[in-house]
Structure 1
Amino acid sequence: MNKRRSGALRGLAQVGTRKKPEGSTLGDILETLGDRSFGWGFMLVGIVNLLPLPFGSNAILGIPALFVATQLMLGRRTLWLPDFMTRRSISQKKWRAGALSALPVARPLARLTRERYTRVFRGGAEKPFGLLMLVTSLVLCLPLPLTGWLPAIACFVVGIGLVERDGVIVTLGGVIALAAITVAATMAFAIYAGFLLATG
């Protein structure tokens, strides 16, 4: 019996082995990865924001997640991104670094994924879930300490679930998204309380 290979990991490997020394644009990558564009969009945002980048970079690099989540919430069938995003280039080195950062999450999930609980993807369920991911994307863009990685992981896990059409993995990503929102709210409250104490 042949072991099933994850379509998500195959797609990541396909992009990682492209021979383009000048790097690939976001549009090139999405085109290479094919359909299930919302899943790939969330995965790409997750990978990029898992890179070891300067503090505050997520305020810019998290913006594409807002586009993906908003369109998911509005019930669009395919993902659209503006030209200034799709033309943005990602070097092979950066892509490889992001993919390596995501592998500890991707590999165990890939072994567990299969197409199941597909009702999560029907009957308008994507709209409230899109709202949850929109709030998570806003959290990703906030320049708050300790709040960047969890929403990036949530985007990545949700992306894998959407690509594989696995409702369980999508739900797991939603739980991580709720945790990310809770951590951000706690951090914001702590900063606000600290400011009140300092000025009071």
Structure 2
Amino acid sequence: MDAPTIPPPPAPLEEREGAPISRIIAEVAAACPGERITLGEMSEAFGDRAFGLLILLLLLPSLLPGMATVFGMPMLLLGAQMGLGRRVPRLPAFMARQSIKRDDLLRLAGASSKWLGKIECYVRPRPGPFTTPFGDRLFGWLTVYVAIMLILPGPGTNGPPAFGNIVMALGLVEHDSKTMGWGILLTVLGCVFATGVLAVIGWMGVRAIGFVF
């Protein structure tokens, strides 16, 4: 009887440049055996694609109720680092220790795999004005604004900016200037909508205070 063939170990994440993002997310969750996965572990696992992939991964749980503030702060820090021209993310210890349940991450990866897969079919490396250091900085500062929208409380203000940021992140990771351009447009429109909603809420609050006093 022939000896069983032992399959080779999976290639490191940073070497699988062509792997679909949805599969990478699932493999990162599978590679971290603990009950909870920290942001520091995820940052190390993503290698040289850490900024785009980590921001993309942070956007998914931030859409859950009560999770926006938790993941909005790391997003704000990562976006600011990109905006300032850093090439490798650096999380302070108290943020690197923040974690998400492994089961929740797998559930998010599974739920998003269908629509992520459809988007990824149209994403491919396409050099252009947004696959440059300027594009990286623009991505970073727009991510900062999206993170602020996620942190501030407001009905319906999380989804539109986050969706645009997800499309931007896909373009960033795959070096696709066209997808980045669409993501920038969607992010700006989403942020305008969220800012408008928050402005109306603030105006109504001021009017209510004036009415009472």
Per the shorter chain, which TM-score range?
A: 0.7 to 0.9
Q: Which has the larger radius of gyration?
A: 2
The corresponding residue for 2:38 is: 25
Q: Which has the higher contact order (CA 8 A, sep 6+)?
A: 1
Deviation at 1:33, TM superposition (A): 2.4
Structure 1 pair 82–123 and aligned structure 2 pair: CA distance change class (3 A): closer
The corresponding residue for 1:181 is: 191
The corresponding residue for 1:53 is: 65
After TM superposition, the score normalised by the length of structure 1 is 0.85
Q: Is residue 2:26 matched to residue 1:13?
A: yes
Counterpart pick for 1:107 among 117, 130, 133: 117
8 Å CA contact 1:49, 1:149 repeated in 2:
no
Deviation at 1:196, TM superposition (A): 4.5
The corresponding residue for 1:64 is: 74
Cα distance in 1, alignment partners of residues 41 and 206 from structure 2: 48
Cα distance in 2, alignment partners of residues 49 and 62 from structure 1: 7
The corresponding residue for 2:14 is: none
Cα distance in 1, alignment partners of residues 72 and 85 from structure 2: 21
Moved more, 187-196 or 172-181: 187-196
Between Structure 1 and Structure 2, how many residues are aligned? 194
1:31-50 aligned at under 5 Å gives the runs 31-50=44-63
Calculate percent identity across the aligned residue pairs. Answer: 27
Cα RMSD (Å) of the superposition? 2.3
Return structure 1 stretches of 4+ with deviation > 6 angstroms: none
Deviation at 1:99, TM superposition (A): 1.7
Cα distance in 1, alignment partners of residues 101 and 137 from structure 2: 34
Deviation at 1:197, TM superposition (A): 4.4
